[in-house]
Amino acid sequence: MKSEKIKVIVVDDHPLVIEGLRTSLGEDDSIEVIKCFNNAADLFSSLKIIITNVIVLDVNLPDMNGVEVCKKITKKHPHIKIIGLSTYNNPSIVKQMIKNGAKGYLLKNVTSKELVTAIHQIHKGQSYFSGEIHTILADSIFNTNAIPKLTRREKEILILVSEGITTPQIAKKLVISPLTVETHRRNLIQKMGVTNAAQLVKIAIEQKLI
Amino acid sequence: MKSEKIKVIVVDDHPLVIEGLRTSLGEDDSIEVIKCFNNAADLFSSLKIIITNVIVLDVNLPDMNGVEVCKKITKKHPHIKIIGLSTYNNPSIVKQMIKNGAKGYLLKNVTSKELVTAIHQIHKGQSYFSGEIHTILADSIFNTNAIPKLTRREKEILILVSEGITTPQIAKKLVISPLTVETHRRNLIQKMGVTNAAQLVKIAIEQKLI
DNA sequence: CAAAAAATACCTGTAAACTAGTAGAAAATT
DNA sequence: AATTTTCTACTAGTTTACAGGTATTTTTTG
């Protein structure tokens, strides 16, 4: 006799992906997709009344940052296992997801078969990471590059810098001293471990800070 | 009596998206998904023997640039209508796709309903663009910002600039005068219509030049 | 081969960016 | 309420970037 089905919730803003997940997971007898959501808000309002085992979570949602969603789920519903899903393998995001409770992480180019395996494994209490992700994690064991945390003001100035606005102009815009802007610039360059504004912008975009 | 079904080929490297497209389009009686491919190579080898009406083409394929694929299909099979599909709305790519024969363009957050509408409309000989894409096209009518063509040397220097390397260092590396590097920098800034290196890097990344 | 485009290099001057150290006031956090 | 972080601001000096113009050589293309 079969045991109870694994309850899965899918969160992704692409209807086509949801449809794909529904179909693929529906083919497995031991998995039941109980709900699908396009955004984080709908997910959270439903989590108050619905019980699930696993959440397949797209990291790029329209209304909320994937890492934040993960954090919130883990905090309020620690029993729910989360599998992250994204198109590109951005190391810093993958690490943040895992740090915030994700038990698995896959790229969107996975086969449905692999996804089914992942869900089973995670439901059993194990973890699951696809090949590329595994490499990232292995690298980061040696390469302890912590993600630098920027303050609100720093992020603000970072964006303005990336738009080609100069220090004096930024100062005028924010109604602060140019000397202060220079300080923020300096801190940004230091925190991100870069040598100048050009590289700062590049790294910031890579890190998805802009 | 119903007329013949519209033959559709789907090309996308994400199995989940293909599954979603298959299911969604399969629900429409007048559309028939005759084949699906994960990459451009398989598509082209099949196009020699298979006849189709419409190709739904993901722009980010593993083996070939979406724009190139589009160009090649249009050249060899002018009767086939192409609908571009991508996650992000990169203006320059959308424009290049249209320039190379794509009759429609949608973002991946479309509903299956909209996609079906698009396929019908394109099959009738019209064009179809989703909301966001339409905005891009409208903008580009006034904003005739042709994609600036960079020379080999300029691209080389652009990359070095984005890596935080200064003019004197670049000069040493390339064994040319710093004055020459300055000239290239100036031309880059002028061509891209930006104000400084920081913005140059940002725009270059947006334009996928880096 | 000739014309066009690209790569090279120079000059002059100004403005901005980067380095380094210091420090008080305001906000946020514990 | 106390501590920490963030935001603010300053001095002073060096280096780099940016703007504008000009011009020769090399490479590419028609």
Protein-contacted bases of chain C (C-beta within 7 A): 5-11, 15-23
C-alpha to C-alpha distance for A181 and A172, rounded to whole angstroms: 10
pLDDT of residue A88: 81
Q: How many CB pairs under 8 A join A and B?
A: 125
Q: Tell me how far the alpha carbon of residue B56 is from its chain's centroid.
A: 13
**Once rounded to an integer, what is the mean pLDDT over residues B29-39?**
95
pLDDT of residue A143: 62
How does the average pLDDT of chain B come out, rounded? 91
Q: Residues A67-91: pLDDT tens digits?
A: 889 988 998 899 999 999 998 887 7
Residue B91 has pLDDT above 80, yes or no: no
Residue A207 has pLDDT above 50, yes or no: yes
Q: Residues A21-43: pLDDT tens digits?
A: 999 999 999 999 999 999 999 99
Q: Collapsing DSSP states into helix, strand and coil, what is residue A36?
A: strand
**Once rounded to an integer, what is the mean pLDDT over residues B18-43?**
94
Q: Which residue has the tokens 């790294």?
A: A203
Model confidence at B123, in pLDDT bands (50, 70, 90)? Answer: very high
Residue B196 has pLDDT above 50, yes or no: yes
Q: Nearest-5° angle of CA A18, CA B97, CA B57?
A: 35
Protein-contacted bases of chain D (C-beta within 7 A): 5-12, 15-23
pLDDT of residue B142: 63
- Residue A20's H or E segment, with its range, is helix A15-26
Residue A94 has pLDDT above 70, yes or no: yes
CATH 3.30.420.40 fits A152-206, yes or no: no
DSSP string, A90-123: -HHHHHHHHHTTEEEEEETT--HHHHHHHHHHHH
With b for 16 or more beta-carbon neighbours within 10 A and e for fewer, the B136-173 pattern comes to: beeebeeeeeeeeebeeebeebbebbbbbbbbeebbee
Picking from A22, A108, A197, the nearest residue to B14 by CB comes out as: A108
Burial class (CB in 10 A: 0-12, 13-18, 19+), B178: middle
Residues B191, B193, B196, B199: is their CA dihedral positive or negative?
Answer: negative
How does the average pLDDT of chain A come out, rounded? 91
> Is the CB of A198 less than 8 angstroms away from the CB of B194?
no
Q: Residues B18-28: pLDDT tens digits?
A: 999 999 999 99
Model confidence at B136, in pLDDT bands (50, 70, 90)? Answer: confident
C-alpha to C-alpha distance for A18 and B12, rounded to whole angstroms: 15
What token pair was written down for A134?
A: 């595994």
What token pair was written down for A132?
A: 């590329």
pLDDT of residue B146: 62
Q: What is the CA radius of gyration of chain A?
A: 20
Q: Collapsing DSSP states into helix, strand and coil, what is residue B199?
A: helix
C-alpha to C-alpha distance for A47 and A27, rounded to whole angstroms: 25
High-pLDDT (> 70) share of chain A, %: 95
Strand partners, A60: A65
Residue B145 has pLDDT above 60, yes or no: no
Domain segments of chain B: what residues? 6-142, 152-206
pLDDT of residue A139: 76
Indicate the CATH number for domain B6-142.
3.40.50.2300
**Once rounded to an integer, what is the mean pLDDT over residues A144-172?**
91
Residue B131 has pLDDT above 90, yes or no: no
**Once rounded to an integer, what is the mean pLDDT over residues A38-62?**
94
Q: Nearest-5° angle of CA A130, CA A136, CA A137?
A: 85
Residues of A in contact with B194 (CB under 8 A): 164
pLDDT of residue A3: 63
Residue B74 has pLDDT above 80, yes or no: yes
Residue B1 has pLDDT above 50, yes or no: no
pLDDT of residue A168: 97
Model confidence at B144, in pLDDT bands (50, 70, 90)? Answer: low
> Is the CB of A16 less than 8 angstroms away from the CB of B15?
no
**Once rounded to an integer, what is the mean pLDDT over residues B194-206?**
96
> Is the CB of A198 less than 8 angstroms away from the CB of B17?
no
Q: Collapsing DSSP states into helix, strand and coil, what is residue B85?
A: strand
pLDDT of residue A64: 84
**Once rounded to an integer, what is the mean pLDDT over residues B115-120?**
95
According to DSSP, the β-strands at B54-58 and B81-86 are parallel
Residue B181 has pLDDT above 60, yes or no: yes
Q: Collapsing DSSP states into helix, strand and coil, what is residue B127?
A: coil
User: Most confidently modeled of A133-137, B59-63, B170-174?
Assistant: B170-174
Q: Which residue has the tokens 């959308």?
A: B94
Residues of B in contact with A56 (CB under 8 A): none
High-pLDDT (> 90) share of chain A, %: 71
Does the CB of A141 sit below 7 A from strand D?
no
Residues of B in contact with A23 (CB under 8 A): 19-20, 22-23
Model confidence at A1, in pLDDT bands (50, 70, 90)? Answer: very low
